[in-house]
Amino acid sequence: MKRIFALLAGLALSLLTQTAQAGLLSHQVSVTYLYPTVDTEFQHIGAGTVGATGLQMNFLDYFDLNITDDRITVLYRDWPEVWWNPAPFNGFVLTDLTGPLPAISLNTASNMAGFSSSNLTIVGNSLYVNWQGLPFTGATQVILDVGGTPPSQVPEPFSLSLLGLGLLGLGAARRRAK
């Protein structure tokens, strides 16, 4: 009986301390450049699985895209100041093929003039980044935080804690009955 109680206590403790990954690590993603509308594919940039060192892509030597567990970074190449053409949509869509996207927010280190959270739209498992009409140079970067600010781990739902406590209660009730 002591073994069962110890087993239940260990199980409950492990459930209480479990965390879930809130980032993109091991997620399969696809990135497509859309222009001049959100329904017009200009070019497929790439697809792959986000690994421990991230996933790197390039769009026609305009910018490099680096996707990691907790960050999406767009680094522009060496360009004099130029502007993205004004159109209803001029940007990319990142689609998480694994499931719904975690929370995404604009990092304060982003320095694209005129770019704000209003240029980001999340629909289901897709993130739309629209920088139509905005300027960029070789020093421009857009940084998006994935899953909120670090740490990128969040506690599992409270229901797992309740399950562990319920199992402990069942073990204690069974012990008391004997």
Q: pLDDT tens for residues 123-140?
A: 999 999 999 999 999 999
CA atoms of 128 and 162, how far apart (whole Å): 38
pLDDT, position 72: 98
Burial 152-162 (b: 16+ CB within 10 A, else e): beeeeeeebbe
* Strand arrangement of the beta sheet that strand 141-146 belongs to: 55-59, 63-67, 71-76, 141-146, 104-106
Q: How far apart are the C-alpha atoms of 70 and 54, rounded to whole Å?
A: 10
Percent of the chain's residues with pLDDT above 70 = 75
Give the residue with greater pLDDT, 69 vs 4.
69
Average pLDDT of every residue of the chain:
83
More confident call, 88 vs 177:
88
Q: For residues 147 and 22, is the Cβ–Cβ distance under 8 A?
A: yes
Alpha-carbon dihedral sign for residues 17, 23, 25, 26 = positive
Strands of the sheet with 120-123, listed across from one edge: 41-49, 28-34, 91-96, 126-130, 120-123
Inter-residue contact 157 to 26 (CB < 8 Å): no
pLDDT at 169: 72
- 164 pLDDT tier (thresholds 50, 70, 90): low
Q: Which of 12, 16, 10 is nearest to 167 (CA)?
A: 12
Q: What span, in angstroms and rounded, lies between the C-alpha atoms of 84 and 34? A: 12
Q: If residue 15 lies in a helix (H) or strand (E), which one and from where to where?
A: helix 2-16
Measured between alpha carbons, how far apart are the two ends of the chain, in Å? 10
Express each pLDDT in 53-92 by its tens digit: 999 999 999 999 999 999 999 999 988 889 999 999 999 9
pLDDT at 25: 95
